[in-house]
Amino acid sequence: MEEILRLFPEKLRQAVNKKLHSRWSDIQEIRFRLQQPLEFVFDSHTEWLDCIKPNKNDSIFLLNQLSEFSLYRMEDELREGYVTIEGGHRVGLSGKVNTLHGQVKAIRHITFYNIRIAKQTIGAALPLVPYLYPNQYVNTLIIGPPQTGKTTLIRDLARLIGSGWGKAVAHKVGVVDERSEIGGSNKGIPQHDLGIRTDVMDACPKDEGMMMMIRSMSPEVLVVDEIGSESDVQALMEAINAGVAVICTIHSNSLEALKKRPSLQPLFDQQVFRRFVLLNRQDKPGDIYRIYNESEENLLQKSRCVTNAVDWRASFHRHNNAGRI
């Protein structure tokens, strides 16, 4: 995790490395706040580093490392509020916001940083993918609150679809990665394995990116993270009408809550999705609560085992009809 440690000045770097040591695989976020203890968010709990409280110089050092000593280079990122670094890790930024004509122009006096640790769990979607491929890939919506493993899941789905698995040959996949979280691209190069037949449109708005991808790369399957706006829905409908299967994620606690969102009504009215995958976080990110078909029948109840399951992190672990990947 050198790409993370290099962000901190020497004293903090040593303290962070000592704190985490052999626990890098369990860490989700490191939260840096001026004059406050560093916060470490693990899969199952939170800890603090009380011995050192970052000062203004530490914040300046971190910002210089992120920007490579050029804030002008980070102009777009400062407007969006996050920076993606080598390794696909994303650093969220917060502080005083400058606006122009009612829109965010940049964030200045940055004093809060959220370092989100990107992890690729190879095989995470292997137990799930047969449910999405009865004889061809079907339109799928993956639903869950924040930090329930949605991005990890679609990242591995892109890899499996783009490289092939079991009975399914490799398909052409188009990933529209608006926030650089799926591929974790650095200078256009994905830092994660997304499959041998996968093309990535990085740092592009989802609605425009889907149309660009269809026109330029002729994907068979589109993978998109965090849909929700009316323009996202319109682009999804265009993609589906063009004969492209879509696999996307959305923030929500339930399918019922989604049905109440006006922007999503066209998707439900036209029964666009044939699979709904519901995630929760009873223990660790990736807990699968339900897999519904278009009739909202729970497919997990009908299957007692999963073929080609890998280890416990990537296999369905049943308890009260729930599963974990």
pTM: 0.78
DSSP letter string over 44-104?
Answer: S-EEEETT----HHHHHHHHHHHHTT-GGGGHHHHHHTEEE-TTS-EEEEEEEEEEETTEE
How far apart are the C-alpha atoms of 226 and 209, rounded to whole Å? 13
| Alpha carbon distance 85, 187 (integer Å) | 10
The Cα–Cα gap between 258 and 190 comes to 31
Q: List the chain domain ranges.
A: 2-116, 129-324
Tell which CATH architecture fits domain 2-116. 2-Layer Sandwich (3.30)
What does the pLDDT read at residue 256? 93
State residue 137's pLDDT score: 97
- Is residue 291 helix, strand or coil? strand
Q: What pLDDT is attached to residue 10?
A: 95
Query: What's the pLDDT at 227?
Result: 93
Q: What are the C-alpha distances in Å from 104 to residues 99, 186, 206?
A: 4, 24, 19
120, 224, 282, 314 from 323: Cα distances, Å: 19, 23, 10, 10
pLDDT in single tens digits along all 325 residues of the chain: 888 999 999 999 999 999 998 899 889 999 999 999 999 999 889 999 988 899 999 999 998 898 876 665 667 777 778 888 887 788 999 888 777 777 666 667 889 999 998 888 899 899 999 999 999 999 999 999 887 889 989 999 999 999 999 989 999 999 999 888 899 887 788 989 999 999 999 989 999 999 999 999 999 999 999 998 999 999 999 999 999 999 999 999 899 999 999 999 999 999 999 999 999 876 566 678 899 999 999 998 655 444 333 332 333 333 333 443 4
Fold entry, domain 129-324: Rossmann fold (3.40.50)
